[in-house]
C-alpha cells in the first residue's frame, strides 16, 4: 500500500472496523482492552503519526503495524496508546503505609528491593526512591522501574521534570533530592544523583515472559489491571506473585481490587496485599 501524497491532510475519521482491528492488535501485544468509547482517544493519540507519514486513513496506518521494516512505527503506536497519567506522590496513603508499616518490617534487612512494574515516565519510581532514602542507608535499597513504552522510559531515565510536577512533593524532600534548573532549564528540576543512581529502568511487557529482574520485597502495579480482562489479570497476577518474596507487599490503585481473582495474596487493607511469610 502506497502512502497518500496528501501529507499533513486531515485523516478520515476512525471507522468501526478500524477500531476493532487496533483494539485486537493492542490486546494481542499488550493485554490492554480498548473498550467502546475509546475511539476519540485512539484518533487523538495517533493523528500525528498519520500526518507524519502522509496517510489519509487509519486503515492505511494500521496496515504498517507489525510489518517487517516498520518496527519503530509499531513501537511508537504502542507507546502512544499505552501511556498513562502519572505524577509524584500519587495516592499518598500508599507511601505512608510504606513508612509506617512496611519499612519497620525490613528495618534490619539490607538489600530492600522495590519494583515499579508500570513505571511510565518515572514519577512513581522516584517517589518510592525518595521515600526509601528517608528511612534506609543509601547502600541498602534499590528501585526497579519497568514499562512497555520505550518513549516514557527515556524520559524516566533523564529524571528531568517541569517545575509544575513538583506540586505534591513534600517541601523537605524537594529541597533535599531535587535540583532546580538554570538558564534554559529554569522551569525544570532534576532528581539528585544519589536518587537517580538507585533507580534502574528497563523495558518489560508484563503479559510476556519477564526479564530476569530478581525478587522484590514490594511491588507496585497501580492503574494497570483496570485495562485488562479477567484472564489477563489472572495470568499477570501469578507472574508478579512469583517475583514477590514471602512476606512482601503488593500495591494496586485505590480504584482496583483483586476480588474475583484466584490469588494467594492476603488483603492487608484496600489496595494493599501481602504474600504470606515463609
Interval 36-51: pLDDT, tens: 889 999 999 999 999 9
pLDDT tens-digit series, residues 82-92: 867 799 999 99
What is the model's pLDDT at position 9? 63
Tell me 92's DSSP state.
T
CA angle 189/116/274 to nearest 5° reads 135
Residue 229 has pLDDT above 80, yes or no: yes
Positions annotated as catalytic residues are 45, 147
Q: Cell numbers at residue 95, please?
A: 507511601
Which domains can be identified in the chain, with CATH numbers? 16-82 (1.10.155.10), 93-274 (3.40.50.150)
Cell 468501526 belongs to which residue? 16
- Sign for the pseudo-dihedral over CA of 117, 79, 89, 267: negative
pTM attached to this predicted model? 0.85
Averaged over 253-277, what is the pLDDT? Answer: 94
Cα distance between residue 51 and residue 11, in whole Å? 8
CA 133 to chain centre: 21
The order of strands in the sheet holding 188-191 is 160-162, 188-191, 178-180
Percentage of residues in the chain having pLDDT higher than 90: 75
Amino acid at each position: 500500500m502506497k502512502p497518500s501524497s496528501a501529507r499533513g491532510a486531515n485523516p478520515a475519521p476512525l471507522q468501526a472496523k478500524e477500531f476493532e482491528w487496533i483494539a485486537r492488535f493492542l490486546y494481542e501485544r499488550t493485554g490492554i482492552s480498548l473498550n467502546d468509547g475509546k475511539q476519540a482517544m485512539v484518533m487523538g493519540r495517533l493523528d500525528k503519526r498519520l500526518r507524519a507519514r502522509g496517510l489519509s486513513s487509519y486503515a492505511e496506518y494500521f496496515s504498517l503495524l507489525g510489518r517487517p521494516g516498520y518496527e519503530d512505527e509499531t513501537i511508537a503506536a504502542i507507546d502512544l496508546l499505552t501511556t498513562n497519567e502519572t505524577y509524584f506522590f500519587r495516592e499518598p496513603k500508599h507511601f505512608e503505609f510504606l513508612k509506617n508499616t512496611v519499612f519497620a518490617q525490613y528495618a534490619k534487612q539490607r538489600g530492600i528491593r522495590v519494583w515499579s512494574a508500570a513505571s511510565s515516565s518515572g514519577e512513581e519510581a522516584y517517589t518510592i526512591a525518595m521515600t526509601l532514602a528517608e528511612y534506609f542507608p543509601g547502600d541498602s535499597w534499590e528501585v526497579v522501574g519497568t514499562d512497555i513504552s520505550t518513549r516514557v522510559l527515556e524520559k524516566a531515565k533523564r529524571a528531568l521534570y517541569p517545575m509544575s510536577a513538583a506540586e505534591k512533593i513534600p517541601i523537605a524532600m524537594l529541597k533535599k533530592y531535587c535540583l532546580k534548573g538554570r538558564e534554559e532549564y529554569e522551569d525544570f528540576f532534576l532528581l539528585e544523583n544519589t536518587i537517580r543512581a538507585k533507580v534502574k529502568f528497563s523495558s518489560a511487557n508484563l503479559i510476556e515472559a519477564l526479564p530476569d529482574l530478581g525478587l522484590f520485597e514490594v511491588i507496585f502495579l497501580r492503574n494497570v489491571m483496570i485495562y485488562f480482562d479477567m484472564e489477563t489479570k489472572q495470568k499477570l497476577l501469578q507472574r508478579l506473585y512469583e517475583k514477590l518474596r514471602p512476606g512482601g507487599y503488593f500495591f494496586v490503585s485505590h480504584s482496583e481490587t483483586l476480588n474475583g481473582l484466584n490469588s494467594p495474596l492476603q488483603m492487608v487493607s484496600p489496595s494493599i496485599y501481602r504474600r504470606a511469610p515463609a
